Amino acid sequence: MEIKSYSMNWHYPTAVRVGAGRISELPKACRQLGMTSPLLVTDPGLAALPMVEASLQLCRDAGLQAGLFSAVKGNPTGGNVADGVAALKAGQHDGVIAFGGGSAIDAAKAIALVAHQECTLWEAGPGTVDASKMLPVVAVPTTAGTGSEVGQAVVITDDESHVKRVIFHQKMVPAIVILDPELTVGLPAKLTAATGMDALAHNLEAFCAPVYHPMAEGIALEGMRLVKDFLPRATKQGDDIDARLQMQVASSMGAVAFQRGLGGIHAVSHSLGAVYDAHHGLLNAIVMPYMLQANRPVIEDEMARAARYLDLPKQNFDGMLDWVLDLRAELGIPHTLADINIDDAQAETIGAMSAKDVAGKTNPQRYDAAQYQAIFLKALRGEL
C-alpha cells in the first residue's frame, strides 16, 4: 500500500494503572488531579450494581464529595451530555469519573469537555474549546472494547438528525486510567464477545489504514494477537482474570492504534447504530467480514502479514477471513444483520450516512453511497 503522506502528528496515551484490585486507588487518582467533588458518570445498568456504590463509597470514605449521574444510553446522545452537564453544575462537581463501557466513558468525557465552555457540544473542537476550562477525568473501563479511556475523541448521537458525530480534542484523553480486570468479571458472555470484537475491529482497521504510523501499526498487530489468544477464554470463562486483563489491554491498544485511522467497518456501524440504536461492537462484528471482502483488492498484503504474525494455518487474506468467521462462530456472533432484526427499509439512508462518516476517510479505498449501500445489503443477506 502506498503511503501518500509522511507528514503526520503522533500521540500516545496517558497514565494507566493496570492490575487486579487497583480500583482501590480511585480516590488517590481523583485527589492527584485536584478533585474534591467528582461526578461519577455511568449507565443505568451499572449504576444498579454493587461496584458503582462501592466505588462511590471509596471516594466518600476518603473525604471526596462524590456524586452520581447515570442517564446515559447505549448510544449516548447530545441530550444525555446536556443532562450530565446540568447534574455536574447542580452538584458543583470539579471533575469526572468515567465509569463503564465506551458509551459511559464517551458521555463522561464530553461532559468534562463542554461543561464550562462557551461553545456547544457540536461546535467543540481544538479551535473553539478553552482547554484551561476542561475538567479532569479519571477513566475506569468495565468492558474491553472501545478503548475510549485512552482516546482523544467521543462519538455522540445528535438527537435531532439521528447522526453519530465525532467530537475531537487532544486534551480529552483522561488524565488517569484504571484498568482493573476484576471490574469486568460480571460482564455477560454476549457482551464480552461483542465488546471484544469491537477491540478487534479497532486494531484490524488501524492496521489496514493507509496512513504513515509504524508504531500504531505494530500496536495494532499485537492487539489482534491478544484478541486471538484471550477473547475466547474471557467469553467462555468470565472469571479468568488473566484473559480479562489481556482483553482490557487489547482494547486500549486498539484505541491507541486507531489514531492511524479506522475504516468502512466503523462507517457502516456508526450509521446503523444511529438509525437502529443497536450495540456498536456487535454491529462491527457482523459487518467485519463483508467489509474485508470489499477491501480485498487493496489489503491482500496487509492481511498476509497479519496472518503470519497471528500464526494462522493459511497465511494470506483467506486465512484472515476464515479466522474472523471462525472466531465469530465460536463466540456466537450472528452472521447477518437480519439476524439482529435489521431490514433493508433504510438501505439508501445507511449508504448515504456511511459515505459521509469520518471513519471512511481512512478506509483503504473510498466508497460512495451506492457502494456502501451494496456492502450493507450483503451484510444484511449474508452474501460473502
367: its cell numbers: 466508497
Tens digits of residue pLDDT in 189-222: 999 999 999 999 999 999 999 999 999 999 999 9
Environment class of 117 (CB within 10 Å of its CB; exposed 0-12, middle 13-18, buried 19+): middle
The dihedral through the CA atoms of 186, 187, 193, 198 has a sign that is negative
Phi then psi for residue 228, to 5 deg, are -60, -45
Tens digits of residue pLDDT in 68-126: 999 999 889 999 999 999 999 999 999 999 999 989 999 999 999 999 999 999 999 88
Query: What length does the chain have?
Result: 384
- Given pLDDT bands bounded at 50, 70 and 90, which one contains residue 6? low
- In the chain the domains, ranked by start, together with CATH numbers, are 15-183 (3.40.50.1970), 189-381 (1.20.1090.10)
Tens digits of residue pLDDT in 263-296: 999 999 999 999 998 999 999 999 999 999 999 9
Dist CA 326 CA 99 (whole Å): 32
Distance of CA 109 to the CA centre of its chain: 13
Tens digits of residue pLDDT in 220-250: 999 999 999 999 999 999 999 999 999 999 9
Note the pLDDT of residue 11. 67
Environment class of 356 (CB within 10 Å of its CB; exposed 0-12, middle 13-18, buried 19+): middle
| Percentage with pLDDT > 70 across the chain | 97
* Count helices and strands in the chain by DSSP H and E runs: 13, 8
Dist CA 185 CA 137 (whole Å): 24
CB-based contacts of 202, cutoff 8 Å, min separation 6: 146, 147, 220, 223, 251, 254, 255, 257, 258, 262
- Give yes or no for residue 185 having a pLDDT over 60: yes
Note the pLDDT of residue 127. 87
SS3 at position 95: strand
